[in-house]
Each structure stands twice: as C-alpha cells, then as structure tokens.
Amino acid sequence: MPHFVTQRSLYEVRERPSKTYSWKVFMLSQVFAEIPWNSLMSVFLFVCLYYPVGFQKNAEAAGQTAERGALMWLLMWQFLVFTCTFAHMCIAITDTAEAGGNLANVVFMMCLFFCGILASPHNMPGFWIWMYRVSPFTYLASAIISTGMANTKVTCASNEYTVMQPLNGSTCGEYLQKYADKAGGYILNPDATSNCNFCPISDTNTFLKSLSASYDHRWRDFGIGMVYIVFNIGAALFLYWLVRMPKNKNKKKQE
C-alpha cells in the first residue's frame, strides 16, 4: 500500500496532467505488476503448507494426487492474488496507506469471522447469514479444506475414543451400531460387552459436512474465488474514478 500511494502521487502530479497514459492503464499496471510475485510466493506457500501438514497422504489414499496437488497450488495462488486486488480496492479511495490498511483490516476480519470455520452457518444468528454467503473466504476455505482432507478414513488415537457401557448385557455393536449409522463414527470393539470404544468420526467427509464444505464443490468454489478477484479489480477502477478523477463538471467550472 505505501508503494501504491507513492506511485499514485507521482502519476497524479506528472503523468495524468501531461496525459502520458490514462488512469485505467495506471491502475491495471499496478495490479498486474504484483501477479508474477504472487505466483512465485504461491509456490513457497504451497510447499510450506501442503507437505508438512500431510495433505499429500490423503490425496494418495484417495488416488487423486495430481488433481489435489494442482488445485491446492491454484488455491494458494488465488488467495495471494485476491489479497493483492483486495488491497488495491481499499487503497484506491483512501489518501494514506494507514487509512487503507485500517479499512482493509476491518473488511478482511469481517470476511474471516463469517466464513463458516470459526462458527458454522447453523450457529450464526439469522441476520448474519448473509455475511456467510457473501464472504469470499467461505468458498476459499471450503475448497482448501475439502481438497486437503476429503475422502479419507479417520482413525482415532487411544485417548480420543469415547468409552461407554452397553445396557442389558448387549454387545457394543448391538448397542451403538444404529447410532453410528446415523451420526457417523465407528466402534473399535463391536463384540465386547463392556468398555465400548467409540470414535465419533469414521471419515473426513463427516467433519467436512459439519463445516458445510464439500469436495464435490471444489472447482465451483475456485471459480467463485476468481469472480471475487475480477470484482476487486473492477471495484478498484470504479472507486478510483469516482473519488480521485476530475469530472467533466469540475473541468467546466474551472474554465
């Protein structure tokens, strides 16, 4: 943002009065000059996130190594390009980098709070559900976690099982199987008659469902993210024209 403010000040006192190039060229060049750097950093972000966390193991187990790896990199790239264009949209209407940063932080945090991760849409007050729908991070987070985690079996650690006692001398399978079929999860010792060990999640899709995320929507969510990037660029151009460009009426008055 500080670099943009400096470049904008130079343009408005030098290139714009001399009509060296138009304001649209200035704004678009500022945006597109960042994309190669975003692309380079997305490689580092992908490597530092995808492999240390172990997402590639989930992809190998599901037989989707190539597609998931490529899509995860595209999502990292999309996140960086989105933040870049989002910053340009915010700074386009503010005079200082500090003011632009404050505006960007407020809107960014609002999008983060209502993306469905910190609180699921089912737990949100009815009035605020619209924020869940319009937040770009709703679709970005859904695509990232579903691409990284979907279609994989879950095995609970020894301290993660819920231990309970079956009633009337029934086996753990007889006591819990109907519940497991409906709610998800698995029984470690279905033939035992005491100390039933129950894991509440049997596959990652159950967890994704609790976050309203779906692997089937991964490419749709990526496409929606690209729409937000285009919107940011268009909004940056419009807001710069609206706030900082001299209008025809003002020119006539000056004459």
- Report the 3 state secondary structure along 54-114: CHHHHHHHHCCHHHHHHHHHHHHHHHHHHHHHHHHHHHCCCCCHHHHHHHHHHHHHHHHHC
Looking at the structure, do residues 72 and 166 belong to the same domain, yes or no? no
Task: Look at residue 183 and tell me if it is in a domain.
Answer: yes
Exposed/middle/buried for 85, CB within 10 Å: 0-12, 13-18, 19+? buried
For each successive 10 residues of the chain (255 residues), what is the average pLDDT?
Answer: 88 88 93 95 95 91 90 97 95 91 93 88 85 94 94 91 90 92 91 93 89 92 97 96 79 47
Q: Are 202 and 155 in contact (CB under 8 A)?
A: no
Tally the domains of the chain.
2
What is residue 254's predicted lDDT score, i.e. its pLDDT? 45
> What pLDDT score does 249 carry?
59
If asked whether residues 219 and 195 sit together in one domain, one would say: no
Is 63 among the domain residues? yes
The reply to whether 188 falls in a domain is: yes
- Is 208 contained in some domain? no
Place of tokens 């999502």: 75
Among residues 93, 92, 85, which one has the least CA distance to residue 35?
85
pLDDT at 255: 42
Please give the pLDDT value at position 88.
Answer: 95
pLDDT at position 61, please? 83
Residue 224 lies in a domain: yes
Domain of 173 in residue numbering reads as 162-202
> Is 157 a domain residue?
no
Q: Are 162 and 179 in contact (CB under 8 A)?
A: no
Position 250 scores a pLDDT of 52
In a domain, 207, yes or no: no
